[in-house]
Structure 1
Amino acid sequence: MEHAPSLLFSKIRSLWFFVCLTIILKSLIPSFVQKWSKKQKPKLPPGPKPWPVVGNLPEMLAYKPVHRWIHNLMKQMNTEIACIRLGNTYVIPVTCPTIARQFLREQDATFASRSLTTCTDLVSSGYVTTALVPFGDQWKKMKKILTTALLSSQKHLWLHDRRTEEADNLMVYVYNKSKIVSNGVPGLVNIRSVARHYCGNITRKIVFNTRYFGKGRKDGGPSFEEKEHVDSIFLLLSYVYAFSISDYIPCLRKLNLDGHQKKVKEALKVIKKYHDPIVQERVKQWNDTPKIDEQDWLDILISLKDADNNPLLTLEEINAQIVEIMIATVDNPSNAFEWALAEMINQPNLLQRAIEELDSVVGKQRLVQESDIPKLNFVKACAREAFRLHPFAPFTPPHVSMSDTTVGNYFIPKGSHVILSRRELGRNPKVWNEPLKFKPERHLKSDNGSNVALTEPNLRFISFSTGRRGCPGVTLGTSMTVMLFARLLHGFTWSAPSNVSKINLAESNDDLNLAEPLMAVAKPRLPPELYHL
């Protein structure tokens, strides 16, 4: 019996030890788990150390243009994905195709939204369009209209003759220019102007069924109204996704510190001056005579009905969507041709190879037609190479993350603006051999019968992007681009002016355009009757 107290004491001590151990473990385990989880949680992509509150906005304002600062920063840090905090926004630039595919293919649904900026708000009339609109019901509605009502294969065929008419007009206009002495040089042509107005003409033709807003010109060229219109479209393009301080510190928006808002409003005023009377008159025609035969995209947009047979689109939606169509169609084809021709004049063997292909496929007794496009693989390779090496814009429009996620072992917070670098994806030395050289043959497949496409789904460069936010107008964009290349390369021989030994390929200080518009000498190479249509 003498051992009973000691046995009881031993049991009580063991129980007390167990209780204390349990309490200690319960208090320590959460902190260990939290600490462990913090160690396991991926970090943000590398980037410059941000300042309190404003992030890296001081650097953004100090180093212009911003796209060069970002690209130089990434090269200095030796990274293909970065994180730059502007205000409270994480901006994630990407220069690696593999990482880009993780964003736009593997996690496309997460990055299907758009950023809210002062300029996109103005251009889209409060986000009632498609390309500039954040993910949601309005975007779904407008994208469905674009893909099914405007850009279907049936509608593309329906507008074939309109596109051909403008390709013919292009030949007439350049032929007339080739007969004029400008600045003492016969046949001198401003390629930037010609290419941009060709794109503008096509877009006006398929949207409004007109080439001219005014009386027009007999030689096929743009008059004052078309010049003002196209110039305003390109002004919008230069500001629509520009890096603006007010977009990252919203309380500053009313101050318009960088002047972007004022310039966008002025450009929109010019564009609406030409668009609005046409739209209003056409709506009146449809109201007065509901059974009008559809002639163009404007007719289609007005005639669309909802389930209750009411107009599907408001006047505001129609006007804003037309502006967005304009800015989406004029830039890439015109920029690609200007850069490609500049490169090809400096490499005459490339011009000769393109001409030989065109003469082989088309001959010299007729003009190139859209039906020839599948066989013009070298011409398309030249266009692809221009898209790769000389994109119009340095970055894609932002893809905004709709939730926290992980990409490339990096943490990407909800609300991040992911911008793919058009410039550096196409020049990535891990992907492209001699990335800074214009080499169209790199796009030709070993099988000569294979069709060369302008699309690049693997994001080794960006022509029409991919995923939910990819351009729905691939067919139209391809037709416009290839016909611009093919008609002008087939119809004329091109050379530098006699006082220029080589075309200067320097980029503009502010953007990715040629520093100076390309001036080249055109000489007709087909029978004269083909130019008088």
Structure 2
Amino acid sequence: MDQISLALLSVFFLLVSIVWYSWIFKNWTKKLPPGPRGVPILGYLPFLSHNLHIQLTDLARKYGPIYKLWLGTKLCVVISSPSLIKEVVRDHDAVFANHDPTVAGLVATGGVDIVNSPYGPHWRNLRKVFVREMLSNKNLDDSGPLRRYEVRRAVRNLYGKIGTNVDVGELIFITEVNVVLCLIWGGALEGENRDKIGARFREKVAKFVELLGKPNLSDFFPILAKFDFQGIEKEMKGVLPSVDEILNSVISDRMKIMEDSGGEFSSANRRKDFVQILLDLMKQNDIVIGGTDTTATIVEWVMAELLQSPHAMQKAQQELTQVVGLNNIVEESHITKLHYLDAVIRETFRLHPPLPLLIPKMPSKSCTIGGYTVPEGSRVLLNVWTNYKDPQVWENPTEFKPERFLNDDDNGKWDYIGNNFHYLPFGSGRRVCPGIPLAERMVTYLVATLLHSFDWKVPEGVKLDMEEKFGIVMKKSTPLLAVPYQRLPSLDMYE
């Protein structure tokens, strides 16, 4: 390094130090939460581990249910207890209604999508259209044939792979992508083209999600953002054209249909789909991505837990036999009668929450939580993963026990909509996940179909790996491979 570069680097670190210490001095009189000291300038960054959710839980044992971490110039406040989480998402929900998007997230969406858009009129309009027009019970019921078509097609394809190793995550991802894209296209694309698009989209979504959760110096030192030292912004810009290409083709196809029908659906195209609403929502990438990656992740975890617990898989299949029968196929109308399977899925959400820290929040003004000041503009992480491992709430919390969700006295206690602060797989408050109605239907429908149509075994000589890989979406560290076998007596059930 030459002398000029060394001098410039020294000046830069001096400026960063001045900014950092001035922020410390500004907030010195405030009662900030306790927390580890870290090192000057970098804060706690050098000490972060790959499994951040576990590390944050360990720090909570030392510093309490609310503590702070300096990550570069960014103050991060971690909250772990249900009572304090309630203060954030219920008592002070309006203050914490903003998310804290990463630089990669802002590059991907411009900060105007449903996930990253600041709380206000624009976000309220987006959510209103999304929930009322796209995910109303009527529209979900009307689009049922689309989901049924894609799920049955997955069964046909899977039947051709009987006795061979199947990547369960890939199978579910492609099926779920096709469900969402079918809702978008209204059946305009069929056969090989749709499979190719689904496969390509899976690759892009995986990279997209990886970049969203990748630690980025630009997030911890905003002054460095324009330099993009790690190249994350550049990588995200490289992924976006492929995603936009798919969505642009969706809009073009829908516009052509509407023009050909004089602005109305022809009788052949009256099936409910998402494109009309997507036109209003201006290509919200997070709708498609959020509807595929997290669903595929939780279904993969469900199947992994059942493969590790043959008795639980047997009980789930016995229930399916009683409710559906062996001479019928699973329909969405069966879902509400599958109580044990519902408990299996809820228990899997507890053990393997796709978003263990939910989505980071950012207070619009300084606020007092648990007697401590959470400054305006800080990043707030809600570590719900910790709550799911609390032995005072969950007996033997590390064990897979679906029966814990079968108590009739607890009916409705463990819902998905965020009323119980011990159990928040989809968040709570104003920014609770808007896709719960579709996710709840699809996860149960997919798992029920897989278990009803096939018996499943771990490949011979393969050890089932249950290790987690932390990220913005927590996945299995290794893909789940399983071998399907015919379970139903009639081949007609696989058509």
- TM norm structure 1: 0.80
Of 477, 484, 488, which aligns to 1:515? Answer: 477
Structure-2 residue corresponding to 1:74: 59
Structure-1 residue corresponding to 2:208: 236
Describe the shift of the 1:330–1:522 C-alpha distance in structure 2 as closer, same or farther (beyond 3 A).
same
Deviation by residue 1:81-129 (Cα, 9 ceiling, x = unmatched): 22112344321122222211111112111110122432121221x2222
Q: In the aligned structure 2, how far is the partner of 1:190 from the partner of 1:297?
A: 29
Describe the shift of the 1:468–1:454 C-alpha distance in structure 2 as closer, same or farther (beyond 3 A).
closer
Tell whether 2:175 aligns with 1:198. Answer: yes
Task: Tell whether the 8 Å contact from 2:57 to 2:386 is kept in structure 1 after alignment.
Answer: no
Task: Tell whether the 8 Å contact from 1:175 to 1:531 is kept in structure 2 after alignment.
Answer: no
1:517 positional shift: 0.8
1:456 positional shift: 4.8
Alignment of 1:266-415 (within 5 A): 266-286=238-258, 290-293=262-265, 295=271, 296-302=273-279, 313=280, 317-319=281-283, 321=284, 323-415=285-377
Of 132, 140, 148, which aligns to 1:156? Answer: 140
Describe the shift of the 1:290–1:48 C-alpha distance in structure 2 as closer, same or farther (beyond 3 A).
farther
Q: Could you say what the CA RMSD is over the residues aligned between the two structures, in angstroms?
A: 2.7
AA aligned opposite 1:245: L
Alignment of 1:163-242 (within 5 A): 163-178=147-162, 186-210=163-187, 215-216=192-193, 223-242=195-214
Of 93, 97, 106, which aligns to 1:121? Answer: 106
Structure-2 residue corresponding to 1:96: 81
Describe the shift of the 1:451–1:76 C-alpha distance in structure 2 as closer, same or farther (beyond 3 A).
closer
Structure-1 residue corresponding to 2:220: 248
Q: In the aligned structure 1, how far is the partner of 2:114 from the partner of 2:203?
A: 22
Structure-2 residue corresponding to 1:257: 229
Q: In the aligned structure 2, how far is the partner of 1:484 from the partner of 1:162?
A: 14
Q: In the aligned structure 2, how far is the partner of 1:324 from the partner of 1:416?
A: 24
1:280 positional shift: 2.8
1:279 positional shift: 1.5
1:289 positional shift: 5.0
1:252 positional shift: 1.3
Task: Tell whether the 8 Å contact from 2:250 to 2:275 is kept in structure 1 after alignment.
Answer: no
Secondary structure of the 1:177 match is coil
Q: In the aligned structure 1, how far is the partner of 2:493 from the partner of 2:274?
A: 29
AA aligned opposite 2:176: C
Q: In the aligned structure 2, how far is the partner of 1:512 from the partner of 1:266?
A: 24
Task: Tell whether the 8 Å contact from 1:74 to 1:81 is kept in structure 2 after alignment.
Answer: no
Structure-1 residue corresponding to 2:93: 108
Note the residue ranges of structure 1 that are not aligned, 5 or more in a row.
1-37, 179-185, 217-221, 303-312
1:331 positional shift: 2.5
Describe the shift of the 1:424–1:164 C-alpha distance in structure 2 as closer, same or farther (beyond 3 A).
same
AA aligned opposite 1:247: D
Describe the shift of the 1:357–1:454 C-alpha distance in structure 2 as closer, same or farther (beyond 3 A).
farther
1:253 positional shift: 1.4
Q: In the aligned structure 2, how far is the partner of 1:213 from the partner of 1:288?
A: 20
Deviation by residue 1:339-380 (Cα, 9 ceiling, x = unmatched): 222222222110111011111111111111111111111111
AA aligned opposite 1:207: I
1:275 positional shift: 2.1
Describe the shift of the 1:75–1:399 C-alpha distance in structure 2 as closer, same or farther (beyond 3 A).
closer
Structure-1 residue corresponding to 2:425: 463
Tell whether 2:450 aligns with 1:488. Answer: yes
AA aligned opposite 1:165: Y
Bigger drift between 436-445 and 455-464 goes to 455-464
Secondary structure of the 1:429 match is coil
Bigger drift between 482-491 and 94-103 goes to 94-103
AA aligned opposite 2:33: P
1:194 positional shift: 0.9
Secondary structure of the 1:406 match is strand
Structure-1 residue corresponding to 2:24: none
Secondary structure of the 2:468 match is coil
Q: In the aligned structure 1, how far is the partner of 2:479 from the partner of 2:397?
A: 24
1:522 positional shift: 0.8
Describe the shift of the 1:531–1:211 C-alpha distance in structure 2 as closer, same or farther (beyond 3 A).
farther
Q: In the aligned structure 2, how far is the partner of 1:478 from the partner of 1:211?
A: 26
AA aligned opposite 2:186: N
Describe the shift of the 1:68–1:150 C-alpha distance in structure 2 as closer, same or farther (beyond 3 A).
closer
Task: Tell whether the 8 Å contact from 1:46 to 1:83 is kept in structure 2 after alignment.
Answer: yes
Indicate the structure (1 or 2) with the bigger Cα radius of gyration.
Answer: 1
Q: In the aligned structure 2, how far is the partner of 1:205 from the partner of 1:289?
A: 20
Describe the shift of the 1:64–1:345 C-alpha distance in structure 2 as closer, same or farther (beyond 3 A).
same
Structure-1 residue corresponding to 2:121: 137
Alignment of 1:27-46 (within 5 A): 43-46=31-34
Task: Tell whether the 8 Å contact from 1:93 to 1:420 is kept in structure 2 after alignment.
Answer: yes
Secondary structure of the 1:468 match is helix
Q: In the aligned structure 1, how far is the partner of 2:258 from the partner of 2:125?
A: 22
Q: In the aligned structure 2, how far is the partner of 1:211 from the partner of 1:398?
A: 38
Secondary structure of the 1:85 match is strand
AA aligned opposite 2:37: K
Note the residue ranges of structure 2 that are not aligned, 5 or more in a row.
1-26
Deviation by residue 1:472-502 (Cα, 9 ceiling, x = unmatched): 22211100110111111111111111223x5
Q: Percent identity?
A: 27
Deviation by residue 1:272-307 (Cα, 9 ceiling, x = unmatched): 2222133234335545654221642112343xxxxx
1:70 positional shift: 4.5
Q: In the aligned structure 2, how far is the partner of 1:128 from the partner of 1:213?
A: 32
What number of residue pairs does the alignment pair up? 463
Task: Tell whether the 8 Å contact from 2:168 to 2:481 is kept in structure 1 after alignment.
Answer: yes
Secondary structure of the 1:399 match is coil
1:382 positional shift: 0.9
Task: Tell whether the 8 Å contact from 1:331 to 1:392 is kept in structure 2 after alignment.
Answer: no
1:441 positional shift: 1.0
Structure-2 residue corresponding to 1:473: 435
